[in-house]
Homo-oligomer: A and B are copies of this chain.
Amino acid sequence: MMNSKEKAGLSHLDDQGQAKMVDVTAKVETTREAVACGLVRMQPSTVRLILEGGFPKGDVFSVARVAGIMAAKKTWELIPLCHPLMLTGIDVSFSSTPERGEIALEARVKTVGKTGVEMEALTAVSVAALTIYDMCKAVDREMVISEIFLQSKQGGRSGTFIRSGVLPPSASGS
């Protein structure tokens, strides 16, 4: 059975369990920041193709970065119960480990507002990952988008959150 704290937690559902956009009218505006991460797993040769393929280094990343930034701004349009927010900073970056066949993504999003920007950071990572997938799928159809999670957040009533380093067992592959 669910205790009242848990019940309160699913804040997007009202007393009858119907969806609504949580009322944040009375909350104060504070500076907010969130960092989200993700991975695209692919053949090592696909990573190398992106990095060394004879075309200007990083063009796949350049397109994916723009896609991630633009998607962060559209989060409220994609996620039904997200509040619109005026983002004040978005950064999307990539690092690659060809021998493991991995491209890691990180998005950092900032705002001054009444709600946090966790979903904006997660959306930026997700859409940047999908864009990498799209640009590489002709050579590698078995890519996997994985390990998308919130790394940290700051600001707001609930304060700072930093994810503990260890992923849950089934995700960490141990």
Contact = CB atoms under 8 A, between A and B. Distances in A.
Interface of A: 2, 6-14, 16-25, 27, 31, 38, 41, 45, 48-50, 52-63, 65-67, 69-71, 73-74, 76-93, 100-102, 110-114, 118-119, 122-123, 126-127, 129-131, 133-139, 141-150, 161, 163-164, 167-174
Given A53-B7, A138-B10, A173-B170, A89 B145 contact: no
B134 A12 contact: yes
Contacts of A144: 147-149, 167-168, 171
Give the number of times this chain occurs in the complex, counting copies: 6
Nearest to A45: B6
Contact of A170 (B17, B41, B59, B89): B41
A73 B67 contact: no
A114 B31 CA distance: 13
A110 to B, nearest CB: 5
Scoring A69, A81, A85, A91 by chain B CB atoms within 10 A of each residue's CB, the highest score goes to A81
Given A62-B59, A77-B73, A84-B86, A133 B119 contact: yes
